[in-house]
Structure 1
Amino acid sequence: MTTVTSPLAGRAVGLANVPDPVFSGAMVGPGTAIDPVREPTEAVAPVDGLVVSMHPHAFVVVDADGHGVLTHLGIDTVQLNGEGFELLVGKGDEVKRGQPVIRWNPAAVEAAGKSPISPIVALEASAEALADVAESGEITPGGELFTWN
Structure 2
Amino acid sequence: MRALVQRVTRAQVDINNTTLGEIGQGVLILICAMQGDTEAQADKLAAKIAKLRIFKDEDGKMNRSLQDIEGAALIVSQFTLSADTSRGNRPGFSTAAPPAEGERLYEYFTARLQAQGIAVATGRFGADMAVSLTNDGPVTIWMDTEA
TM-score (norm 2): 0.32
TM-score (norm 1): 0.31
Which of 1 and 2 has greater Rg? 2
Question: Hey, which of these two has a bigger chunk of helix by percent?
Answer: 2
